[in-house]
Amino acid sequence: MLQTSYKYDYNYNNLKNEDKKSKNNRSVTRVVFTYLIVIIIMGTCIVAYLSQTLTITHLSYKVNELQNELQKIDKENHELSLELARATSLSKIEKIARNELHMVEPEKTEIIVLNNNDTDISNKNKNSDRDKIFFLHFIDKIIDRIGTVKAGSRK
């Protein structure tokens, strides 16, 4: 077998060249490794940025949908309030009472109070009658102050 022989000089130049090559290989490996790490970090940052952007866009669409739904509900609420006001107006109630329920206003109202002055009633009954009468007068005064409303009139 044939082999090549290395020419060695006494300065060990051949060993130095091999050391330089291995140092160059190590530095190239380090540079490549550093570039890979930088690329991975930048890729992670880009993915995080895109993820945040997509999330913000999605949430803004959802906010717009909810605002539209809120406007629809507000409009429906306003319409229902108007319908309630129309249905509870006194003129509407009077119209329903007259036309559908066939109600009429009373002609004339008379109240007859019978006064019974029996002498056989004990003092206890008299006091209770006086309390009842006082209470009824009190209620009548309150009703007069509050006032009453006849159908078709506004008071």
User: Taking a C-beta distance cutoff of 8 angstroms, is the pair 154, 94 a contact?
Assistant: no
For 97-136, the pLDDT digits (tens) are 889 888 888 777 777 777 665 544 455 455 556 666 777 7
**Domain spans of the chain?**
28-101
| SS3 category, 147 | coil
pTM: 0.41
User: Taking a C-beta distance cutoff of 8 angstroms, is the pair 98, 104 a contact?
Assistant: yes
> What's residue 136's pLDDT?
74
What b/e readout covers 36-53, taking b as 16+ CB neighbours within 10 angstroms?
A: eeeeeeeeeeeeeeeeee
Q: Who's near 105: CB < 8 A, 6+ residues apart?
A: 150, 151, 152
**Cα radius of gyration (the chain):** 52
- Given pLDDT bands bounded at 50, 70 and 90, which one contains residue 94? confident
When pLDDT is averaged across residues 8-22 and rounded to a whole number, the result is: 54
Nearest in space to 152 (alpha carbons), one of 85, 96, 81: 96
Residue with tokens 């930048």: 42
User: The dihedral of CA 6, 11, 13, 15: what is its sign?
Assistant: positive
